[in-house]
Amino acid sequence: MIKNRWLTGFGLLLALLLLMALAACGGQPPADEVEQPTEEPAVEEPVDEEPVDEEPVDEEPEAEAATVTYWHTMSDAEVEALDQVIAMFQEAHPNITVETTRFAYDDFKSALLTGLAGDEGPDTARLDIIWVPEFAELGALVALDEAMPNFQSIADNTFPGPLATNFWQGSYYGLPQDTNTQVLLWNGEVFGEAGVEAPPATLEEMQQVACDLSEGEEQYGYALGGTYFWAPAPVFYSMGGQVVDEAITTADGYINGPDSVAAFEMLAEMYEQGCISPNLLGGGIGTSDGHATGLYAMITDGPWMVDIYANDYPDFDVQFAPVPAGPGGSTSSVVGGQDVVLFEGAENQEAALAWIEFLMSEEAQVTMAQSGVIPTLRTVRESADLPDYFGVFLEQLETAQARVPHPAWGDMDTAINNAFQRMLAGEQTAQEALDQAAEEINALLQ
């Protein structure tokens, strides 16, 4: 019996310990819990006043200590700039601590979702512009035009294209933190050896030059990173292609319209002739490595390549040019970028809004620009402190077009991606493949 009692006691102890361990896992660190409620009443006032009052009220000593979490997918260079931005922010708001978490782009969506589903998500994040409608539709985002008193004055100073990516069903769910686009990158050495002086100015010329600079499996005139929409998008938009109508009601006559078909026909033909590298189908040499080593004479890519090449290929002299113009005579490209958003579960909304406002400030945008991030504020674009190579990107942004701002954009991208794959595999003509894509996209719009 004694033995049994001992066993019982021991078993109970184990069970208790386990329960305690489980409880501890689920809870917050106790220190935070104790401090916040006691100080809250005293602090709320100054924070409330903040947007109204132009004076830096936050420096007053009684401000409550608050933490804002911020998730992002920044590069090394961007993280360095962000650290400076955070230091500047904390100087102005000594009571607010910004905790950042960095993710790989490919893991970001699933990390956010699991975090949000478990109430462990961030207060704020920098989201790819194409994800904002999707997360808004899920009910994860706070409408900033309602929650942020000075939303309108900030929004008025941003460019309409990037701002529009935050709009979903009557509200703005974010602010455009940065923007970017793709331009043509041409390898001067490869061009020089072949006696080609300048980058192609039209898509027709581009096809010609690409084929002239291709040589069996040893060199390709042009390379795309994959078959997902972002990769052919510069050629697609420059050719005059459209995915859907402006009101986002139908793809019929747009994705399978003559200009869209012409763009994909050109790419499929170039691939067929061996003027586009097969790496776009996967399992080859990546576009940036291939371009710097001369394997690919031309690629299309964004402003971050400056930093990547500076690290990986310091001797490579990267050359930028606008995307070659289509038959209509005008160049175009695709708008990329990121929006800063506020999540529904944010613990301290006032502090989070202060952080968002600071990210949209001129000083933060100028600091981030040094790492290759293109600012979205009109007043900053005119400033002289921006890197020289921004010129071609800013010029390209004038005509660059946004992808469809719709929660089902991911599926639309897949439809076009699959159509492109079917063309490259020779299973369908461009017209047939895009007719099918139009049908699939229309089904998503209903």
Partner 1 sequence: MAEATSHVQQTSKQRQELSLPARAQRRLSRQGVAYLFLLPGFLIFGLFVIYPMLYSLRISFYDWNVIDAARSTFVGLDNYRTFVNDPIFQRAVLNTVSYAAITVPAQIVFALVAAILLDQPLRGRTFFRVAYYLPVITSWVIVTLIFEFLFNSQAGFINYLLRDVLRLVDARVRWLADPILVMVPINLLGIWKGVGWSMVILLAALQAIPDEFMEAAAVDGATPWQRLRHVVLPLLRPTLVFLLVVLVIGGLNVYISGLLLTDGGQPQGRSHFILTLMYAETFDRLNFGGGAAISYFLTALVFVVSVVQLRLLRRRVEY
Q: Are strands 124-128 and 66-72 parallel, antiparallel or unpaired?
A: parallel
Show the tokens assigned to 321: 């040019």
Nearer to partner 1, 135 or 320 (CB): 135
Cα pseudo-dihedral 252, 256, 260, 263, rounded to 10: 170
Tell me if 436 contacts partner 1 by CB under 8 A.
Answer: no
Nearer to partner 1, 24 or 310 (CB): 24
* Residue 219 CB, nearest approach to partner 1 (Å): 11
Residues 391 to 420 in contact with partner 1, rule: CB under 8 A: 410-411, 418
Tell me if 381 contacts partner 1 by CB under 8 A.
Answer: no
DSSP at 404: P
What is each CA distance from 341 to 7, 129, 175, 177, 352, in whole angstroms?
55, 10, 7, 9, 10
Tell me if 421 contacts partner 1 by CB under 8 A.
Answer: yes
3-state secondary structure of 104: coil
Residues 91 to 110 in contact with partner 1, rule: CB under 8 A: 109-110
* Residue 139 CB, nearest approach to partner 1 (Å): 5
Q: Which of 182, 238, 279, 331 is the binder for partner 1 (CB under 8 A)?
A: 279
**Residue environment code for 316-331, b if the CB has 16+ CB neighbours within 10 A, otherwise e:** bebbbbbbbbbeeeeb
Q: Which of 87, 117, 198, 201 is the binder for partner 1 (CB under 8 A)?
A: 117
Residues 130 to 189 in contact with partner 1, rule: CB under 8 A: 134, 138-140
Integer Cα distance of 340 and 128 in angstroms: 9
Taking the CB of residue 101, how many other CB atoms lie within 10 A of it?
12
Nearer to partner 1, 20 or 42 (CB): 20
Integer Cα distance of 68 and 350 in angstroms: 10
Strand order in the sheet with 175-181: 96-102, 66-72, 124-128, 335-342, 175-181
Contacts with partner 1, 215-234, as mask; x by CB under 8 A: --x--------xx-------
* Residue 414 CB, nearest approach to partner 1 (Å): 8
Q: Which of 24, 198, 425, 443 is the binder for partner 1 (CB under 8 A)?
A: 425
User: Which helix (H) or strand (E) covers residue 12, if one does?
Assistant: helix 2-26
Tell me if 24 contacts partner 1 by CB under 8 A.
Answer: no
Integer Cα distance of 317 and 364 in angstroms: 29
Nearer to partner 1, 370 or 421 (CB): 421
* Residue 267 CB, nearest approach to partner 1 (Å): 15
Query: How many residues contact partner 1, by CB under 8 A?
Result: 40
Show the tokens assigned to 186: 């041409």
Tell me if 7 contacts partner 1 by CB under 8 A.
Answer: yes
Contact residues for partner 1, defined by CB under 8 A:
1-2, 4, 7-8, 11-12, 14-15, 18-19, 22, 109-110, 113, 116-117, 134, 138-140, 217, 226-227, 277-279, 281-285, 295, 344, 410-411, 418, 421-422, 425
